[in-house]
Amino acid sequence: MSLPRFTPHHVSEHDGKIEIVGSASADNYRGRVWLGEKWIGYVGRVGEAPIEGRWFSAGSQWKFVSEDRQALTIKKEEALCLYDGYWGERAYMVLAPLTWTKEEFVPTKQWDHEHCGICWFAIAPTSSPTFFRSSARGIVCPDCYQKYVTTRSLAFIEEEPIQHLRATGQEKSEVSGGGAEVGGER
């Protein structure tokens, strides 16, 4: 199943914001709604870092509004990948030209662990203290760094999130116990 696509029909700039009106091939992906009124979302060319914006209904079409000047490079009728806010953040981490450094997690009185920004694996002295931090401050576990960041792969979007968490050693109860739901509702 391929990602939903957004095809721009009109690109304009108003008050410092880029407005792109077009049509979406679908408003959902793998049973989850990805597109809704005033929702944060991302669009981007295949293999390039997606652009963040907000969706607005425009009759039978959708309007994507972004403050990112890169949105001005989008051309009419160019089929773009459409991501929801959750997966778009992760696609950005993988596809953007970021610098990554390997680090070790050191707990403090206020903070005893971190989570991988892709699979939500707990990074802590009791599990695995090693992680990679991006120049944009994103954090990923070594497994996701090797599988997705170094290869610029978005395969994690295709995988079933809970199966991926279990494959990386993260139990479902740890995720729900932490108050986070992978791919949850807005």
Specify if 181 maps to a domain.
no
Angle at 9 between CA 5 and CA 12, to 5 degrees: 115
Specify if 110 maps to a domain.
yes
> How many distinct structural domains can be found in the chain?
2
Q: Are residues 91 and 9 in the same domain?
A: yes
Mean pLDDT of the 160-181 span: 42
Give pLDDT tens digits for 36-75.
Answer: 999 999 999 999 999 999 999 999 999 999 999 999 999 9
Q: Are residues 30 and 110 in the same domain?
A: no
Q: Confidence class of residue 1 from pLDDT cuts 50, 70 and 90?
A: low
Q: Give the residue from 55, 80, 95 where a domain finishes.
A: 95
| Tokens coding 137 | 């401050």
Cα separation, 120 vs 99, in Å, equals: 21
Give pLDDT tens digits for 83-137.
Answer: 999 999 999 999 999 999 999 999 999 989 999 999 999 999 988 899 999 999 8
Q: Are residues 112 and 67 in the same domain?
A: no
Q: Give the residue from 76, 95, 114 where a domain finishes.
A: 95
CB 49 within 8 A of CB 92: yes
Q: Are residues 47 and 70 in the same domain?
A: yes
Boundaries of domain holding 119: 100-172
Residue 159, pLDDT score: 75
| Tokens coding 78 | 């160019």
Residue 160, pLDDT score: 58
Q: Are residues 73 and 104 in the same domain?
A: no
Assign residue 68 the CATH number of its domain: 2.40.30
CB 18 within 8 A of CB 67: yes
Q: Are residues 119 and 40 in the same domain?
A: no
Q: Give the residue from 45, 64, 95 where a domain finishes.
A: 95
Give the predicted TM-score (pTM) of the model.
0.80
What is the helix (H) or strand (E) element at residue 81, kind and residue range?
strand 80-84
Cα separation, 145 vs 50, in Å, equals: 19
Give pLDDT tens digits for 96-111.
Answer: 999 999 999 999 999 8
Residue 162, pLDDT score: 43
Residue 171, pLDDT score: 43
Specify if 179 maps to a domain.
no
Count of residues in the chain = 186
